[in-house]
Amino acid sequence: MPSFVPPLATVLTFAVASLVLIVTPGPDMALQLSRSINYGRAHGMMTFFGTMLGLLVHSVLVALGISILIVAAPPIFLALKIVGAVYLLWLAWQAIRKGGGFRLAAAARQKPTLWQSFLAGVMIDLLNPKVVLFFVTFLPQFVHAGDPGAPGQLFFLGLEYFLLSLPAGVALVWFAAWIARALTRSRTVERVLNWGFAGVFATFAAIILSAQARHA
């Protein structure tokens, strides 16, 4: 077996652990739902693809050891936390402001482009220190530090997580789009959903700010 491929038992164990993490709600999932409900399946999918690109970037960074440097440098990590939290708070404001980008009305005046939805997905993944911590502290548990093939194995596991996330993300967007068609145009329902999204984004912003880097 090539050195960059972990043992089968490791691949299977990592798959089980990853599936638990994938179905755990996070800011990326909330953004995918909100974009899908407000703008349709295409925007939800583009947001999802953006988060997937972010996962690939994190996989490359951890394989190259760059993510470890980010977490090991407190000023850099603190800056990343602040930027990520501010971005989530901005999304929360967008969700509740009048005429904002998270209204359920199909004819919302400020509807983003597909490219903007894609970039929103990329940013919410790249600016989330929790994702950095996941790749820095979780993936290395499945490789041996002294193994010369460790960098390749880390990237393999990151790619495995990426592939496992694909069907879950597609199902999430598909389900959200179905909800959007089934929902009435009640302003009460719209208000509850948008405030709910705002609460999720704000909560994760607080969680991000309280995240602590794990030092050796």
Residue 101 domain flag: yes
In one letter, which amino acid is 81?
K
- Give the mean pLDDT of the chain: 76
| Residue range(s) defining the domain that contains residue 183 | 26-209
User: How would residue 49 be classed by pLDDT, with cut points 50, 70 and 90?
Assistant: very high
Q: Is the pLDDT of residue 101 over 50?
A: no
Q: Which residue has the higher pLDDT, 193 or 99?
A: 193
Residue 1 domain flag: no
Residue 4 domain flag: no
Residues 3-41 have pLDDT tens digits of 677 888 888 888 887 887 777 667 888 888 888 888 888
Predicted structure pTM score:
0.72
Q: Is the pLDDT of residue 107 over 50?
A: no
User: How would residue 184 be classed by pLDDT, with cut points 50, 70 and 90?
Assistant: very low
Residues 132-174 have pLDDT tens digits of 777 777 777 777 766 677 778 888 888 899 999 999 889 988 8
**pLDDT recorded at residue 212:** 54
**pLDDT recorded at residue 77:** 67
Domain count, the chain: 1
Residues 124-139 have pLDDT tens digits of 888 877 677 777 777 7
Residue 75 domain flag: yes
Percentage of the chain surpassing pLDDT 70? Answer: 75
Residue 205 domain flag: yes
Residue 59 domain flag: yes
**pLDDT recorded at residue 216:** 43
Q: Is the pLDDT of residue 103 over 50?
A: no
Q: Is the pLDDT of residue 190 over 70?
A: no
Residue 14 domain flag: no
Residue 94 domain flag: yes
Residues 63-87 have a mean pLDDT of 73
